[in-house]
Amino acid sequence: MASVSVDEAMRRAIELAARGLGATSPNPVVGCVLLDADGEVVGEGFHAYAGGPHAEIVALAQAGTRARGGTAVVTLEPCDHTGRTGPCSHALIAAGVSRVVIAVPDPNPVASGGAATLRAAGVQVALGVRTQEAEAGNVAWLTSMRRGWPYVIWKYAATLDGRSAAADGTSMWITSEAARIDVHALRGTVDAVLAGVGTVLTDDPRLTARNLRDGTLAIRQPLRVVVDSSGRTPADARVRDGAARTWIATAAEVGAGPDGRVDLAALLAELHHRGVRAALLEGGPTLAGAFLAAGLVDRIVGYVAPKLLGAGPAALLGAGVSTIADAIDLEITDVTRIGPDLRITALPRKREG
Ligand SMILES: NC(=O)c1ccc[n+]([C@@H]2O[C@H](COP(=O)([O-])OP(=O)(O)OC[C@H]3O[C@@H](n4cnc5c(N)ncnc54)[C@H](OP(=O)(O)O)[C@@H]3O)[C@@H](O)[C@H]2O)c1
């Protein structure tokens, strides 16, 4: 097999890491490519699920003795601690790897230190290859580890005139089946799905990740969270159907903000504590407005349907904006056509002060 450059190996490692998206929490996604002394690929691996072998261990097992004197190219600093699996730093040293190339240092104080252990054992360590790309692939985990609460994606569906429901309250199926399939795929990449009790009372959604054609549930289901200050979620609501874990988050349990409603920062801290690294906020407009007003949204995914309603609630309510100077500025990072609809991905720009 022809030899590959470290840069090319890192590109492949990032691609491998992405295969674990949605299945590794509370761990990160990680990819690893092992090159022998001649630069030939002798092992590949990724972290497939929490509790399963780490990417380095999978790649080392494939490489066997050919790892000796070779280079391990990894998207995240190898761990240095014994959790459900042993430290990857030690496994790399034991296999006789002579160089380790890392895209991103591990921000997790419990697991970091792998680079120092490797160096102390005489292994060459290089940092910073394709860092931006590897960061982007692990953005939810890295963000949540650095600041201690989950990465929040607000997803909504609206008509071209920005309505999230019709005047009579009906809102199901604003967007096409193709867009709804895309939403289920998005649910499969997060650890929790959040909805306000208003949406539960109006639409009675299931909030599970499933195949829309035959209704089969995805193997891994995000935690369903209903943000419900006073516990108004009906006993027979579909979110209580047992198809996935559900948490009715009340103000009594989480803590209340000044308005008596669930304290959203405390809610996110508790979700982080429960291992949630990425959360999908599925509305409705009141809860989304409160999250945005508090600056707690990291990414927005809007599905815009080629429909006009002319009346009915807006996609967003009460986001703390009363004058144009206070508008929440966004940077659009992607626009993709999904069937007849548009999926627009945007990042809120950080506000000064
Ligand atoms: N097009 C879409 O993408 C989409 C998505 C979802 C929903 N919808 C539509 O939206 C409508 C429901 O929206 P909604 O605005 O009435 O309800 P909502 O946003 O789903 O829920 C709002 C409720 O959440 C509770 N809440 C708890 N803590 C809160 C906090 N800190 N800040 C704000 N709210 C908090 C409040 O009730 P308590 O104080 O009692 O807890 C509040 O009334 C339905 O018509 C639904 O079909 C559309």
One digit per residue, pLDDT tens: the chain, 353 residues?
678 999 999 999 999 999 998 889 889 999 999 999 999 999 999 999 988 999 999 999 999 999 999 999 999 999 998 777 779 999 999 999 999 999 999 998 777 789 999 999 999 999 999 999 999 999 999 999 999 999 999 999 999 999 998 998 887 789 999 999 999 999 989 999 999 999 999 999 999 988 888 889 988 899 999 999 999 999 999 999 999 999 999 999 999 999 999 999 999 999 999 999 999 999 899 999 999 999 999 999 999 999 999 999 999 998 989 999 999 999 999 999 999 999 999 999 976 54
- Distance (Å, rounded) from C-alpha 220 to C-alpha 279? 14
Minimum CA distance residue for ligand 1 atom 10: 284
- The reply to whether ligand 1 has any atom less than 6 angstroms from the CB of 203 is yes
Tokens read off for 350: 């950080």
The answer to whether residue 56 is catalytic is yes
- CA–CA distances in Å: residue 7 to residues 42, 115, 130, 347: 16, 19, 7, 28
The per-residue pLDDT for 1 is 60
- Distance (Å, rounded) from C-alpha 256 to C-alpha 320? 19
- The neighbour count for residue 232, using CB atoms within 10 Å, is 14
The per-residue pLDDT for 112 is 77
The per-residue pLDDT for 219 is 85
- The neighbour count for residue 252, using CB atoms within 10 Å, is 11
- The reply to whether ligand 1 has any atom less than 6 angstroms from the CB of 250 is no
**Cα angle for residues 171, 173, 177 (degrees, 5° grid):** 160
The per-residue pLDDT for 210 is 87
Cβ proximity of 155 and 35 under 8 Å: no
- The reply to whether ligand 1 has any atom less than 6 angstroms from the CB of 290 is yes
Nearest Cα to 75, choosing from 128, 143, 25? 128
310 burial type by CB count under 10 A (0-12 exposed, 13-18 middle, 19+ buried)? exposed
Catalytic residue among 8, 44, 56, 177: 56
